[in-house]
Amino acid sequence: MAVEFTVGIPTHNRRETVLLALASALEQTRPPARVYVVADGCTDGTQEAIRALGEERVEVLDRRKGPGCGYGHRNEVLERAGDGLVAWLADDDLWLPDHLERAGELFEADAVGIVNSMACRVGVDGALEPFGVHWRAPTYRDRFLGVENRTPSSAVSHRALPALAAGGWPADIERGGDWDLWQRMVRDGVRSEMVMAPTVLFFSAARREQSWPDRVAQNAGFLARMRDPSRLAGLRAEMALACLSREHGMEVAIAQAREREIVWGRDLASIRTERDGLATELHSITSGTWWRLRRPFEPLLRLRRRLRGDA
């Protein structure tokens, strides 16, 4: 049975980019059944701009500004989704056209409760950096559950009921509310899976030295590329190459580490051989007749050296 997605797009005073993000959601090859734009105390006309589109699938949840990123408002999306699926999209990110289709295939094929997709973080210069890890991979699971989140919220979709059962979105923390919810779901035993092909463009706002007009223009440029089939193919190739480059870099690092281990092993063996040789030589000297004859006269020899000023 085909699954349907409810999309949640939280936003605060980013009217221009949220319209672009919304367009990427509405233009999915597997269209969402409903899109909720969660306006967290917007004062820049976001609500009016969204409603002016006249899109029946889109509803604005106009709410007063909440603490921090207004995470608590997002629980309304979970409640409205019922027992269906929810996919999250940040107001300054973009989905490739098959993002929901690829995630949906995993939900339909297995007893999966949460799916995260590979993303590419877009730099100010347009450079692409892979961003995402498989939460069930032993290499990354402990880090995800403890010290590091490498998954943007725009890359995550999940069943609504397990998220509510895990406590939903936290209303009392300033940052990291998405990571907090994903961790609780995984710890509750919700099975996760990952779309390995990159389907998300992540325009991280943290420490981004870029004017707002430039940010809007950059996002608009990438959306235009996705709308052109030939340019979309080129973009996919760039994103795939970025991910492969990271994997190659990791392989190189592992190979270098193994090479260092081999070299260090050889050096250690050489040191041990030299040590054993010196020990044998020292034993030969101290057990010889000359050494035994010298020992009774050692105090006199030391006195002689002091008198001569040698020591």
pLDDT of 64-82, one tens digit each?
A: 999 989 999 999 999 999 9
Q: Does residue 226 surpass a pLDDT of 50? A: yes
Q: How many residues does the chain have?
A: 311
* Assigned token pair, 71: 């995470």
Domain ranges of the chain: 5-227, 248-311
The confidence score (pLDDT) of residue 275 equals: 64
Question: Cβ atoms within 10 A of the Cβ of 163, count?
Answer: 25
User: From residue 250, how far is each of 91, 160, 202, 246 by CA, in Å?
Assistant: 32, 35, 22, 6
Nearest Cα residue to 187 out of 157, 167, 213: 167
Question: Cβ atoms within 10 A of the Cβ of 234, count?
Answer: 11
* Assigned token pair, 26: 């509405």
DSSP state letter for 66: P
Query: How much is the average pLDDT of 82-106?
Result: 97
Which class is 5-227 in CATH? alpha beta
Q: What is the pLDDT of residues 138-195, one digit of tens each?
A: 888 888 988 889 999 999 999 999 999 999 999 989 899 999 999 999 999 999 999 9
The confidence score (pLDDT) of residue 251 equals: 43
The SS3 assignment for 206 reads: coil
The confidence score (pLDDT) of residue 256 equals: 47
